[in-house]
Every structure is written in C-alpha cells, then in structure tokens.
Structure 1
Amino acid sequence: MNSPPLTDLSNRARDIFRLVVEGYLESGTPMGSKALAGEGGVNLSPASIRSVLAELEQRGLLAAPHTSAGRMPTETGLRLFVDAMMQVAEPTREERAAIEQRLAEPGPIERALEETSALLSDLSGAAGMVMVPTREPKLAQISLTALDANRVLAVLVGEDGHIENRIIALPVEALGTSLEQASNYLTARCSGRTLAQAASMVEKEIASGKSALDEASRDLVQRGLAVWSEDASNRPVLIVRGQANLLDETALGDIERVRSLLDDLESKQSVAGLLERARRADAMRIFIGSENRLFSLSGSSVIASPYRDREGKVVGVLGVIGPTRLNYARVVPMVDFTARSLGKRIG
C-alpha cells in the first residue's frame, strides 16, 4: 500500500487529516466538518473544512461511507498516519507495573504465555495473541520413579533448570529394577541433546539392538520419550485470548466482518504464519486491513512484536488483532513493552 508523502500535504490539510483520524480512532464514527470546526478543532469555516476533506478524499486518504456522513480514514490514510504522524503514548507507571507483576508470577512458561495473551487483550480492548517459543531446550536428566504398582512418574530436567513431569500408566511387571536401568540409559543418551535429537538416537539404538536394555526397560524408555514427544506436538502454535472484545457496539453494524475475523482466528496455523513474518523481520510490524491477505475480508489490523530471550535471540511473537480503528498510539508501545517483559520471564 503506497501512501502519498506527508510533505505533499499543506499544513492545513495535515491538521484536518490528523483530527479526522484521531477522532475516528477514538469514536469509531466518521468525522464531519461541524465536529472538526468545534472546540479544540481547526479555526476554519465548515465550508473551508469540507473543501480540504474533499481534497484528502481525492488523494485516497479519507472516504465517506455515506453521502451525508463525515469522513473516515482509508487503509492508505491509516498507514500514512501510523508511519508519519502518530505520537505514541508510553504505558503509564501503573500499566508497566501491572504487566511486570503478572508476568513475574511463578509457574510454567505455558502459564506465562497464557497470561500474556490475556493481558494484551485486557489492555488493548482487542484480542491478544502469543506464538509459543520455537526453541527446544537441551536436556540434562530424565528420571523414572514408581508411584504405585501401575504408574510411573517421569521427570525431565532441562539444562536451563526447567522441570516438567508426566505420569505414565504401566503394568505391574514393567516396574522394579528396570526403572533404574531405563533412567540411567535415558539420562546418558539425552544429556546435552534436545528431546527430538535424543528420541531419534534412542529409536535407532533400540531398532538396531544396540541398546543393551531388557524388554521392560525398552518399553519404559520408549514410553517415557513418547509422552513428551506427543505432548510437544499437541501444544498450540498460537494462544489467542479476548475474542469477545471484538464484539463491541460498533461491530453490531458490521457483523459479517466480525464473523469473518473470528473464522480467521480459528485457523491458528495461518495466523501463526502471519506472525512469523514479524519474527523474521526481527522488529515490530503493523499490518493494516488488506495489507495482509489473511484478514483482508474482515478488514482487521494486527500489531505484532517479536520477543527475545536474555541472550537476545528471537523465540516467539506476540501481538493484538482488532478492527482497523485500534488505538495505535497506545497499543503499539504497550505491545513493545509487553514483549520486552515476557523476554525477561523466558530467560
């Protein structure tokens, strides 16, 4: 989408254009000449304002949804405003404290990702999205311990200190000394490797008969690895929260657009592909309306930012999605701050 340079507009046209966009983003309704000439507006007659509005419409920056209505920014106009005119409003001290406090709460990283998505939704009034980290931590140890005659507790310890546990249902005859043998074997093969690397090595050794494990231990090893491999493959690529926020009062007049958006959000793999563009760009991305094919029908905007671990490596993407009349000046810095705060939590 190519918007005209800001220098092509007169000072008067810029002022009126800015007031139209800011008024529309705040109210969700088109701005008329009388409103623009009111208190806090421009010091021009309604007739002069209408002349400038017609010029801005001719340039493709504004549009009139109805013949008797005021003007609202087009996608081209929103792009010009976001890129060249928007004055961002940094999160308040209270907002920053709330973000940091919620992300600092102890618990597994999955909970922090859920919290982040819900937090973005609450703060933006739109839907929050978080793409889970793509990294695979290296393992330090896997241990198997009998809980009772039919269950084994499998504990996985990562090199970064992260601990996960799962319960495996096993028959009585599989327990006993096989547990220790299987634990030792798993730790020896998994240490310093990712789960995928370890599973591949173990599978090859067992298939070739080089594992030196008895039948019960082989079963334990295979089940112990399978429970994590299956769990990892079933984890959501994307966590979306706050879809109900998209059904606000202004959406009732355009219910088909909202229905299209909600349908798009159901296709999480496709949404994750869009966010992947922000991850590869290594910086904040703002997609307005038809700038992205996925949400072209619903006319929605996406604000997305990659988040990094403490080593500075991009490990995921977070953001918000909502109508094109998002409060960009407030949401953009909030998404950026949340991304930096989540990065500290990821470690």
Structure 2
Amino acid sequence: MSETIPDLTDRMREIFAQVVEAYLDSGQPVGSKALAGKVQLSPASIRGVMSQLESQGLLTHPHTSAGRLPTEFGLRLFVDGIMQARMPGKRTRETIARELDDRPVEEMLEAATTTLSGLSACAGVITAPTQELRLRQLSFVQLDATRALAVLVGEGGEVENRILPITPGMSPMALDEIANFVSARLAGLTFAEAGRRLVSEIENREQALDQAAGKLVAQGLAEWRRDGDERPVLIVRGQANLLDETATADLERVRQLLDELENRQEIANLLGAAREAEGCRIFIGSENRMFALSGSSVIAAPYRGSDGKVIGVVGVIGPTRLNYARVVPMVDFTAEALTRRMQ
C-alpha cells in the first residue's frame, strides 16, 4: 500500500480518526450520520470522504452495511501516525504499583499479568525470567544396549526425563556409579556448575568414575541447560475477559483465539520479538502469524533486571478492536514498574 497518513488531507485525517475511534469504542461499523454531529460536514460529504478512504485501503464496509470500519492497514496507520496516547490515569498507575509492591518475584509477575488483564479487559501475558534448575538427584533406567532413561530431580521437585545414548557394553553399574556421584556430590549445583565439576573430577581422576558414562552425563547436563534457557516461563491470565458482551456476535473468532492461547511456546516466541523494542511493540491481526486466524492484536513491552538487561516481556492479547490509546501506555507503564521493582 503506497498511501501513508501524511498523504491525507486534513479533512480525510479527521474523518478517518473519527471512524477509527468510534469503531474502537463500539465495535460496530460507523455511518456518516453518526459522525455528522462531530465534524462540520454534511452526511453526504462525510460519505464522500469515507469512499476516498476506502479506495486507499484504510476503511472497508462489511456486507451490505452502510457503515465503515478500519482495515488492519488502517489500524496500523492510525496507531503509528494519528493516535494520541497519554500516560495512564493516577488511579490506574496507583493500582499497578500497589499490586506489584512487596511481593516475591513469582507473585509479582502473576500480579502484573492479572492486574493488566483486569484493567485492559484483555488476556494478560508475561514471560518470566528463567531460573536455572538446581540438582537434587539423578537416576538411570537402562532401556537397551544403546539407550538409557535419565531421570533428574531438581531441588524444587521438578522432574526432567531424557533418553541418552550410551556406549554399547556400558554396564548398569557404571551408570549407577555416576548417578550416585551426582546425587551425593553435585546436589545443589546448577546444570552448568554440575557439568563442569563432573568433567573436572573425571579428567583429574579425583574419583574412580567411568569416563565414558561421566562425559555422557556432563553432555546431557549441558543440553538440559540449553533447553531450559530456550523454554521461557509464560504466564497467561484473564482469558475470560475475551468473552465479553460483543463476543456473541463473533463466537468463532473468540473460540479460535482461545485455542491459540493454549499454544504457550508460540506465544512466548511472539513475545520474544518485543525483547529488543525500546517501548511497546504492537502486532495487529495478520501482522503476526500466530493470531492471523482470530484477527487478534498483541501489545507487548520488555522489562529489565538489575543489570539493565531485558529479562522478560509483559503485554496483552485481545481483539483488534482495542482502545490502543489507553492500553498501550498501560502496558508500557507496567513494564516500567516491573523494571523498577527488579532493581
């Protein structure tokens, strides 16, 4: 689409903004009569401007309705070029700050997601900083001559299972020896620490350990760590907010969105695209592959840890008919509040 907001006349910009704002407020196509009292033009003149905007791909009209609504392209241009976003009101800022205050990190992230969901009437989402699991116990179940099932238990009760290849002829005794060593000598260490210690003790022959089995386990610990780093913790709250009074008119879209929200890894990947943003990233409808079918929007902003590095992303997911001017600053403020609390 070659047309941009600066190419519009002042009259076209005014009518376009009024249509978008009325649509975001009501969720219904907007007719010329509804705008007649807001702009100094006759309904006939307004319809003429609407037709021009439609020819440029900014508006469309559904079915036989005389009213218009913005296209996804139109919404993007509105958000980027016309929307006037303001800082959240004092009460909203106080609510967010209060809900995040004096809580452990996990509870604070839950509270941030729940609060943002309630204030925005959307589903709230957040990726939490990954915390590396610490070892408590390791055991093996030999499956056959070339494979063994490693069962690793973390200090918090987490259980990780992994099938590891073993050298043909490796005895169950060698695996038990390594498992006992890990459980007795490496308990309380992270995967990285345990792997380094295991390799060091084998190479320095500080323990009478089977080298092949020990190096196999050390390699497995390294893979476990990488998998954990690439599998961020995702919190989703407020899906019920998507079932509002307007949902009955578009149940299939809402059902599709609820199904999409079940795919936690894909949501985490999508939010990851906002990690490098200075402020909010806004994905409208088909701009993101995941929510293209439901025609939903995502507003997300990164938050930082004590070292200034991005450690997670917080945001909302809802219909494209969002009050962007209200919700974008709300998400931005929540990300800033989380960053302050992480200091």
TM-score by length of 1: 0.75
Cα drift, residue 16 of structure 1? 0.7
Which letter maps to 1:86?
M
Rounded to whole Å, the distance in 2 between the matches of 1:264 and 1:29 is 24
Are the counterparts in 2 of residues 3 and 80 from structure 1 also a CA contact under 8 Å?
A: no
The 3 A distance-change label for structure 1 pair 167 and 273 is: closer
Rounded to whole Å, the distance in 2 between the matches of 1:122 and 1:51 is 40
Cα deviation digits, residues 195-242 of structure 1 (max 9, x gap) = 22112124435767956599xxxxxxx9xxx9xx89x95986211100
Residue of structure 1 equivalent to 2:93: 96
Are the counterparts in 1 of residues 277 and 301 from structure 2 also a CA contact under 8 Å?
A: no
2:276 is equivalent to residue 280 of structure 1 = yes
Residue of structure 1 equivalent to 2:47: 50
Are the counterparts in 1 of residues 124 and 236 from structure 2 also a CA contact under 8 Å?
A: yes
2:196 is equivalent to residue 198 of structure 1 = no
Rounded to whole Å, the distance in 1 between the matches of 2:95 and 2:325 is 19
Residue of structure 1 equivalent to 2:76: 79
Residue of structure 2 equivalent to 1:158: none
2:291 is equivalent to residue 295 of structure 1 = yes
The 3 A distance-change label for structure 1 pair 210 and 283 is: farther
The 3 A distance-change label for structure 1 pair 211 and 87 is: farther
Residue of structure 1 equivalent to 2:312: 316
Are the counterparts in 2 of residues 102 and 115 from structure 1 also a CA contact under 8 Å?
A: yes
- Say which SS state the counterpart of residue 248 (structure 1) adopts: coil
Which letter maps to 2:35?
L
Rounded to whole Å, the distance in 2 between the matches of 1:257 and 1:167 is 39
Q: How does 1:160-171 map to 2 (within 5 A)?
A: 166=156
Residue of structure 2 equivalent to 1:346: 342
Rounded to whole Å, the distance in 1 between the matches of 2:253 and 2:290 is 13
Rounded to whole Å, the distance in 2 between the matches of 1:167 and 1:278 is 32
Rounded to whole Å, the distance in 2 between the matches of 1:3 and 1:119 is 40
Residue of structure 2 equivalent to 1:20: 19
- Say which SS state the counterpart of residue 308 (structure 2) adopts: coil
Cα drift, residue 116 of structure 1? 1.2
Cα deviation digits, residues 230-258 of structure 1 (max 9, x gap) = 9x959862111001111112121111111
Rounded to whole Å, the distance in 2 between the matches of 1:135 and 1:22 is 43
Cα drift, residue 105 of structure 1? 2.5
Provide structure 1 residue ranges, at least 5 long, that are not aligned to the other structure: 144-163, 169-180, 215-221
2:51 is equivalent to residue 61 of structure 1 = no
Cα drift, residue 280 of structure 1? 3.4
Rounded to whole Å, the distance in 1 between the matches of 2:6 and 2:232 is 46
Cα deviation digits, residues 53-74 of structure 1 (max 9, x gap) = 1111111101111323311110
Provide structure 2 residue ranges, at least 5 long, that are not aligned to the other structure: 137-153, 159-182, 210-216
- Say which SS state the counterpart of residue 278 (structure 1) adopts: coil
Cα drift, residue 115 of structure 1? 1.0
Are the counterparts in 1 of residues 282 and 298 from structure 2 also a CA contact under 8 Å?
A: yes
Residue of structure 1 equivalent to 2:139: none
- Say which SS state the counterpart of residue 298 (structure 1) adopts: coil
What's the C-alpha RMSD, in Å, of the aligned pairs?
3.2
Residue of structure 2 equivalent to 1:10: 9
Rounded to whole Å, the distance in 2 between the matches of 1:206 and 1:124 is 55
Rounded to whole Å, the distance in 2 between the matches of 1:83 and 1:261 is 25
Residue of structure 1 equivalent to 2:237: 241
Are the counterparts in 2 of residues 89 and 330 from structure 1 also a CA contact under 8 Å?
A: yes
Rounded to whole Å, the distance in 1 between the matches of 2:335 and 2:132 is 20
Cα deviation digits, residues 102-161 of structure 1 (max 9, x gap) = 111322x22111111111101110000001114759x9xx99xxxxxxxxxxxxxxxxxx
Are the counterparts in 1 of residues 123 and 241 from structure 2 also a CA contact under 8 Å?
A: yes
Aligned length: 290
Task: Report which stretch shifted further, 321-330 or 203-212.
Answer: 203-212
Cα drift, residue 27 of structure 1? 1.0
Cα drift, residue 81 of structure 1? 0.5
Which letter maps to 1:200?
G
Residue of structure 1 equivalent to 2:162: none
